[in-house]
Structure 1
Amino acid sequence: MTTLDDLPIRDDLRGRTPYGAPQLDVPVRLNTNENSYPVPEPVVEAIGKALAAELRDLNRYPDRDAVALRADLAGYLGHGLTVDQVWAANGSNEVQQQLLQAFGGPGRSALGFVPAYSMHPLLALGTCTRWVPGRRGADFGLTAEEAVAQVREHRPDVVFLCSPNNPTGTALDPAVVTAVLDVAPGMVVVDEAYAEFARPGTVSALAVLPGHPRLVVTRTMSKAFGFAGGRLGYLAADPAVVQAVQLVRLPYHLSALTQAAARAALAHRDALLGTVAAIKEQRDRIVAELRARGLRAADSDANFVLFEVGGDQSAAWRTLLDAGVLVRDVGLPGWLRVTAGTPAETDAFLTAMDKLTGTQAPRSRGEQ
């Protein structure tokens, strides 16, 4: 039987495994930061009608540049953005891949501050961009001084900043973004996949865009919008950046069906984003109750919580899985990550944690 080793695959890909979190059939799935709430029926109907309207013309290619969708996304983001400043693709992963195709590549480097989103180094690998793993503080924080020092040391062509950061959950101080912009020789990409879940007063990097043509802010509809299966990510940047990624994007990369479904979802944003407050409540509840049990839990501006289990986190992950609760082992020794879901899912997670630790704290009530 032929194996990868028998094929003339690139040397830097040998021995590697594909990215992916376990997709297991368990009662409570809290490992991939999906929105646990199903799409509301009125939105299902609206998306269905939008898709039906496209079916007769599937013999034709879609709008190559998705202009109408980009205009809708610009309207959603606000900040005075126009269609020329927005680009969309199949998830923010593809957006970031296109950015590395345009601004990274052979002979160039990308810097990210780990632990952070694990796809960034894989996207760098796929585009033959040298990956530089930057450092965070012992508390997983990142100060402007620490970031600037590392950017000056490595002189990367692309800097990735995550706000809120995945897997730690905390948003960046805007001063970090502006400080990095002041010294970075290349592009600065702020990954805001979880921006809609940020705590009050959190400032988006979108506010920093004016006057910074090398800044890119990436977003997704997978999380807050509950549109993970729709695969729609996007960026906001200077129009010249959009022109740059258009040089490397595949032709007709966004299908007519994807564009129609995403536009229908955006038109019903209030209904889809109506679950955000409930998810944030469960996130804060998880933090409070884990701490009440004497466990460390990171402050979170996202729809997940990073928490310490001590010892072998893989064994703790298996214990929780045996209890019917799937969380994420992000490879951080002694820590796991759990998605904030419904009240019932939080109950199940906390019950499983009680079995894991042998401790229990009084539950906050009010769950339905």
Structure 2
Amino acid sequence: MSGIEDLLREDLRGKTPYGAPQLDVPVQLNTNENAFAIPEDVAAVVAEFVGRELRGLNRYPDRDAVALREDLAAYLGHGLTADHVWAANGSNEILQQLLQAFGGPGRTVLGFMPSYSMHPLLARGTATAFVDAGREDDYTLGPDFVRAAITEHDPDLVFLVSPNNPTGTALDREVVEAAYGAARGLVVIDEAYAEFARDPGSTALGLLEGRRRLVVTRTLSKAFAFAGARVGYLAADPELVEKLLLVRLPYHLSSITQAAARGALACAARLQSEVDELKHQRDRIVKNMRAKGLPVADSDANFVLVGGLRDAAAVWRAILDEGVLIRDVGLPGRLRITAGSEEETAALLDAFDTVLERRPALFDLQEQAK
């Protein structure tokens, strides 16, 4: 009799599931979560929205989440309506649905790694071939590089991330325009961290009009401190949104999820102050690391990528020993750090000072940030 492994799809055999280290330490700055809990006044509003739904839980939710989509469109602006917006259980499900509808066996999605590590996993899960075009030597992407990669591989979908994870850098408008001009299929701009950008105008939302194959994906997990609620969404041409209904599960967003998200959106202005504080702490980390002689790029996300490490794994462990958990994303000489509260940032910087003093050989302080 065959074992379970033998019954599994061949392309999934021997693979391991996605996961980030979850360790019980005082300061956790490894998964790009919002460092701040939902404020009490916001929690009260969310609870009020949810409370209205409780007695009706014997009925299925609005399968098309129309009220939520209206609120999301109002939040995004740019002349968007509910017909331009689709919502799901986190932006991962949004991306999965895009691959289910427009990818699949015999089709290809092009990515530019290092980038969001779930992209190739979502492609594998939908039997879509994932092609990695890489990045330029400094991990940036220019319009010529992107255009050449698309021309070479002729993908059915293109995934671009802005701000990019793990580098934190945002894409220039010209890169998105070049990708759209070169591609015959969908061009998906993953903007999970868009609210943290130094230039709010860097979003691709302003490019949607007239570009029917362009998609912008977002999430409430980061700027809205709503990671536990699992709410993601996209903005695109209404016809494209309509096609996603072919692959969505019936009643995929619960009444509770929809209500909670609407409550959070009602408090968007209130939550912006938390975003501003995280941006301040992010820039504080950048400035401090550069002062130590460690290179770090300007970040448009709620995290930074620090370089100048001779042994990234050893530095990660040494920082962990000081009670601070950051992320080893597998890039030589680099570690990713999520921006935290003022106190968490202080603990992080103290941890780096301690490790630098005790084990200077782990660092290459001659390499200066640009």
Please state which band the TM-score falls in when normalised by the shorter chain.
Answer: over 0.9
Work out the CA distance in 2 between the residues paired with 1:233 and 1:213: 20
CA contact (8 A) 1:110 1:158 kept: yes
SS at structure 2 position matched to 1:125:
helix
Partner residue in 2 for 1:294: 293
Give the aligned partner of residue 115 of structure 1: 114
How far off its partner does 1:50 sit? 1.8
Q: Which residue of 1 aligns with 2:220?
A: 221
TM-score between both structures, scaled by the size of structure 1: 0.95
Distance 1:14 1:85 in 2: 38
Q: 2:128 is matched with which residue? A: 129
Mapped partners of 1:261, 1:312: distance in 2: 43
Matched, 1:247 2:256: no
In the TM superposition, what whole-angstrom CA distance separates every residue of 1:185-211 from its partner, at most 9, and x where no partner exists?
100000000010000364210000001
Structure 2 counterpart of 1:326:
325
**Closer, same or farther: CA 314–355 of 1 in aligned 2, 3 Å:** same
Tell me how far apart the structure 2 counterparts of residues 358 and 105 of structure 1 sit (CA, whole Å).
52
Q: Structure 2: how far apart are the matches of 1:10 and 1:201? A: 43
- Which residue is 2:56 aligned to? 57
C-alpha contact 1:194 1:223 (8 A) present in aligned 2: yes
Q: For residue 180 of structure 1, what is the aligned residue in structure 2?
A: 179
User: What amino acid sits opposite 1:214 in the alignment?
Assistant: R
SS at match of 2:112: strand
AA aligned to 1:38 is A
Cα distance in 2 between the residues matched to 1:255 and 1:338:
33
| Counterpart-to-counterpart distance in 2, 1:202 and 1:298 | 19
**Using the alignment, how far apart are the partners of 1:126 and 1:19 within structure 2?**
12
Residues 126 and 359 of structure 1, relative CA distance in 2, 3 Å threshold = same
| In structure 1, distance between residues paired with 2:192 and 2:236 | 15
Displacement of 1:46: 1.5
Measure the CA separation in 1 of the matches of 2:98 and 2:3.
Answer: 28
Give the letter for the 2:346 counterpart: D
Distance in 2 (alpha carbons) for counterparts of 1:310 and 1:5: 42
2 CA distance for matches of 1:75 and 1:352?
43
Structure 2 partner of 1:200: 199
**C-alpha separation between the residues in 2 aligned to 1:42 and 1:358?**
43
The residue type paired with residue 152 of structure 2 is E
Q: In structure 2, what residue type is equivalent to 1:87?
A: W
CA distance in 2 between partners of 1:10 and 1:282 (Å): 45
| Distance across 1 between alignment mates of 2:197 and 2:53 | 35
Q: What letter matches 1:43 in structure 2?
A: V
SS in structure 1 opposite 2:160? Answer: strand
1:5 Cα deviation after fit? 5.6
Counterpart for residue 339 of structure 1: 338
Task: State the partner residue of 1:364.
Answer: none
Q: Hey, what's the Cα distance between the residues in 1 that align with 2:26 and 2:272?
A: 25
CA contact (8 A) 2:194 2:200 kept: no
Unaligned runs of 5+ in 2: 360-370
CA contact (8 A) 1:309 1:336 kept: no
